[in-house]
């Protein structure tokens, strides 16, 4: 099972926001952002905060990719 955060990176580009600005806005640590950069799992709490900040849904941020 694999996941991708490509939707999140595209959203950030569309909103003119950097990864660091997002990290600071939602209060996540640099390790969490690094995990997302490697398409690793993060908590639902982090995803909720991101969706709240960017006014979007989980499907806009994360995608499940079947092996």
| Residue 59 clears pLDDT 80, i.e. is over it | yes
Helix axes 19-26, 44-54, angle to 10 degrees: 110
19-40: pLDDT as tens digits: 999 999 999 999 999 999 999 9
pLDDT score, position 66: 87
Q: Dihedrals φ, ψ of 18, to 5°?
A: -85, 165
In DSSP terms, 4 is beta-bridged to 63
Instruction: Report the DSSP beta bridge partners of residue 64.
Output: 3
pLDDT reported for residue 43: 95
Neighbouring CB atoms inside 10 A of 28's CB total: 19
**Gyration radius (Cα) of the chain, Å:** 11
Single pTM value for the model: 0.90
Residue 1: pLDDT over 80: no
């Amino acid at each position: 099972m694999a996941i991708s955060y490509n939707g999140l990176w595209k959203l950030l580009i569309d909103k003119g926001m950097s990864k660091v600005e997002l990290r600071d806005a939602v209060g996540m640590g640099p390790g969490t952002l690094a995990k997302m950069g490697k398409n690793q799992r993060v908590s639902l709490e982090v995803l909720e905060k991101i969706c709240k900040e960017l006014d979007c849904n989980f499907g806009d941020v994360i995608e499940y990719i079947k092996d």
